[in-house]
Amino acid sequence: MIRAAFLALALLPLTACGFSPVYGGVQANAGPITINEIRATATAGSASGRTGHFLRQELVRSVGQGVPGFSAGTLDVALRHAIERLAFAPDQAASRSDYVGVATWTLRGTGGAILGTGTVEERASFNFADAAYSDLAAQTAAQERLATLLARAIRAEMIMAAGRTVAPKTGLAPVEPAQPAPTKP
């Protein structure tokens, strides 16, 4: 009881300066965010596949309930992903690879105005094993790790974007009009 009173007394000066924690009171200033189907722009076609599925699941879990600073919205994500071969065995077979993913996200408000936009890039490494089908398990695990990393990066960027002002049609920072040079009399 005494500890709680001391803690409340210690935090009192922080409330006077306008301090509000990013993760505190999420329900008060955050609304539900709808995550649309992940669009893929990879060479594999228009479907985002397993990585897109994992990414959407992770986004629903981490940002679906809301992000501080946004009352509600709809999140669109375009995903590009590929495999980069890093190491080769003596017979020139790939022995180590990276799943590389680039996700471009756009958060729109209920009226369609762009609230925030950004691009994140992450990678997840995996080794090719000697056992049968173990490379498929390694690839699947790498896809899940990549999706988790991308979702965390998108959420972090969304939190940072909550404090920025953007043009509602483009999502870019508004451009200040150029000030005319002062004229000499």
Share of the chain above pLDDT 70, in %: 61
* Structure confidence at residue 98 (pLDDT): 83
Q: What is the rounded average pLDDT of the residues 95-122?
A: 87
User: Taking the domains of the chain in order of start, what are their residue ranges?
Assistant: 29-161
Please determine, looking at this structure, whether the domain spanning 29-161 carries the CATH number 2.60.40.10: no
Q: Tell me the three-class secondary structure of the chain, residue by residue.
A: CHHHHHHHHHHHHHHHCCCCCCCCCHHHHCCCEEECCCEECCCCCCCCHHHHHHHHHHHHHHHCCCCCCCCCEEEEEEEEEEEEEEEECCCCCEEEEEEEEEEEEEEECCCCCEEEEEEEEEEEEEECCCCCCHHHHHHHHHHHHHHHHHHHHHHHHHHHHCCCCCCCCCCCCCCCCCCCCCCCC
75: β partners? 35, 107
For the chain, give the mean pLDDT.
Answer: 76
Could you tell me the pTM of the whole model? Answer: 0.69
What lies within 8 Å, CB to CB, of 135 at 6+ separation is: 128, 129
Q: Which of 47, 39, 54, 168 is nearest to 115 (CA)?
A: 168
Instruction: Write the pLDDT tens digit of every residue in 115-152.
Output: 888 999 999 888 766 656 667 778 888 889 999 999 99
Instruction: Write the pLDDT tens digit of every residue in 42-64.
Output: 554 444 688 888 999 999 998 88
Q: Which of 27, 164, 42 is nearest to 101 (CA)?
A: 42
C-alpha torsion sign, points 49, 51, 54, 60:
negative
**What type of residue sits at position 26?**
V
